[in-house]
Amino acid sequence: MMWEASDVNENEEYRLHFCESIDGDRFIRLININSECNGKLQDDVVFISAPISKGENYALKRRDLLTLSEIVKLEDGQPFFVDTHGIWLTKLEADEMDDNVNFNKIHWATGRIPKFPTR
């Protein structure tokens, strides 16, 4: 569900919508700052990023989630993280995973365990 490089116009600004489906799939949607969806929490949107400056569009074009997690913050100024499968995590979720908290006891942002790939 990731955007295509051709979706990014170097002269436009964007936000990221951090989404989770009902079955726990987490994904990130690219939203043009001039879109009517900009800044609106839709059914599957959990968090929205702060606006991404045009100078950072190179990371959007490359779909480089690691770099984006280093340069982009959520609207409230909090960082986000992505795992090796591209699943977004809040700071609290990532910290608790790093601390080896049992998955059933992690304070998941949506109240449910995200769907992680299985072996």
3-state DSSP of the chain? CCCCHHHCCCCCCEEEEEEECCCCCEEEEEEECCCCCCCCCCCCEEEEECCECHHHHHHHHHCCHHHHHHHCCECCCCCEEECCCCCEEEHHHHHHHHCCCCCCCCCCCCCCCCCCCCC
What is the per-residue pLDDT across 51-109, written as a single tens digit (0 to 9) for each?
Answer: 999 999 999 999 999 999 999 999 999 999 999 888 999 999 999 999 999 999 999 99
Q: Give me the mean pLDDT over the 20-28 stretch.
A: 92
Confidence (pTM): 0.88
